[in-house]
Amino acid sequence: MNLREQTRELTALRQDIVQGRDESATRAQHARGKLTARERLALLFDEGTFREIEMLRRHRAHGFGLEDRRPHTDGVVVGWGEVHGRKVFAYAHDFRMFGGALGEAHAQKIHKIMDLAETAGAPLVSLNDGAGARIQEGISALAGYGGIFRRNVRASGVVPQISVMLGPCAGGAAYSPALTDFVFMTRSTSQMFVTGPDVVRAVTGEDVTHEGLGGADVHAARSGVATFVHDDEETCLAEVRHLLSLLPSHNRELPPDQETDDPEDRRCEALLGMVPADTRQSYDMRAVVEELVDDGEFLELHEAWAPNVVCALSRLGGQVVGIVGNQPSAFAGALDIEASDKAARFVQLCDAFSIPLVTLVDVPGFLPGVGQEHRGIIRHGAKLLYAYCNATVPRVQVILRKAYGGAYIVMDSRSIGCDLSYAWPGNEIAVMGADGAANVVFRREIAAADDPEATRERLVKQYRAELMHPYYAAERGLVDDVIDPADTRSVLIRALLTLRTKHQATPARKHGNPPQ
């Protein structure tokens, strides 16, 4: 056989691997409402850019019939390509082989592509659709997962890591997505849990379905594990591509700018009627964000979980920004355990990848209650405080209405290091609301008055006039300027341009010890 014949043989083998030898397995995958690994990769990458490696890899395990089942790729496709013209690495489980279960060779392929992503300084996307560890390979499979976890942690904050759940993910396999920056899930076809329904039923007696235990909506609204949820794989992978357009390739570069036709000096007159002057009335902070950002477009993270705080990626003047805002339409915008965790992780993400932070403040305080205190609101709130204090990216705060107590401090106040702080004319910054403050400060005077209610109202007005007027914080240098709400967009864009070259030295240390 000469080289031409050998090359033709190689070409035929590669075509055979790509097409798949078992057409029935492909039909079964489609019948479940799922795409194959290669179909998914085709949707993720720019057309014709994907380059696969280790296509010819096969396992070397023996026993339990494995020696007679040695398909090429060993059930995972790995390689790299381009997304919007930028390099991205990926691996995709092939459920048609061993149910996507991870064995030694399978794991080594994933280790290889993870190492390449870190070395090349490019994002890593994992398309997960597997039944966990390959039981027939025993401890070798478990060790394979350990190698993945170690690499997830090593690459954390170095390159963006995105997990896309497109099928089952059980047991130890669920911990790799939990270690990554973003988790996408698809409804009906993807589930994540450490122990499945059968084990739960046997141990606790609780009867629950796969979807009810670890489905997409459960993890989106209750556990907070899922960052984004979509109805189908096509929409899901399109959103992954959009997310990648907002992220830098690695932690040593800035996120990609994008030209916009939205004028930087556009006045946002709608804000004047959008936010009620009465601090007891609610509104949707997302509408404020939409009005401020370029072309009204933003990508909200964890939309269904901890809705009392909004975390979103967007652009201002073409520059990528991370936006954190209290949501008055949910729990009046008060911070609780879940909201603190959600915002803290988002702040850490933005800081890791050089994404400036804009914090929109309208917060009445931390959510009171025995349950919150007993579940640890102190340490959970401290997570958000720690994240902001530790962040070295440009940080701009805007106080829309109220900012009371410790929650004001935690929401990136000047005292914890925000670079620039602005406030709208109706701002109220204080230890607590005027009613509560007057009841404490003037308690005896109110009790001794002939008309306690009239006296209380007078003293509330006095307290508000002396300590809560709109310019009180600005007079003391804790707010840099009180601005016209309609100018907020242009003020933010100018501030972020000024801070673009910010450099902040940090103390020499191995790492901090954040609250858990």
pLDDT one-digit tens code per residue, 475-495: 888 999 999 999 999 999 999
The DSSP annotation for 48-87 comes to T--EEE-TT------STTGGG---GGGGEEEEEEEETTEE
Q: List residues with catalytic annotation.
A: 171-172, 406-407
**What is residue 447's predicted lDDT score, i.e. its pLDDT?**
73
Q: Which tokens is 40 given?
A: 């998914």
The DSSP annotation for 233-251 comes to HHHHHHHHHHHHHTS-SST
- Those residues whose C-beta lies under 8 Å from the C-beta of residue 31, and which sit 6 or more positions away, are none
Q: Which tokens is 267 given?
A: 């006045």
* 3-class secondary-structure state, position 116: helix
pLDDT one-digit tens code per residue, 346-382: 999 999 999 999 999 999 999 999 999 999 999 999 9
- Those residues whose C-beta lies under 8 Å from the C-beta of residue 67, and which sit 6 or more positions away, are 61
Query: Pick from 113, 106, 99, 110: which is nearest to 59 by CA?
Result: 106
Longest dimension (CA), the chain: 111
Three-point CA angle 428, 313, 261, nearest 5°: 100
pLDDT one-digit tens code per residue, 442-480: 778 777 777 777 777 777 777 777 766 778 888 888 999
CA distances from 93 to 51, 110, 144, 402, 421 (A): 16, 10, 14, 49, 47
**What is residue 330's predicted lDDT score, i.e. its pLDDT?**
96
CA distances from 231 to 44, 189, 237 (A): 16, 9, 11
Contact indicator for 34, 166 with CB cutoff of 8 Å: yes
**What is residue 456's predicted lDDT score, i.e. its pLDDT?**
75
Q: Which residues of the chain have pLDDT under 50?
A: none
CA distances from 508 to 85, 387, 483, 505, 511 (A): 37, 18, 38, 9, 9
- Indicate the pTM of the whole model: 0.93
How many other C-beta atoms lie within 10 A of the C-beta of residue 106? 29
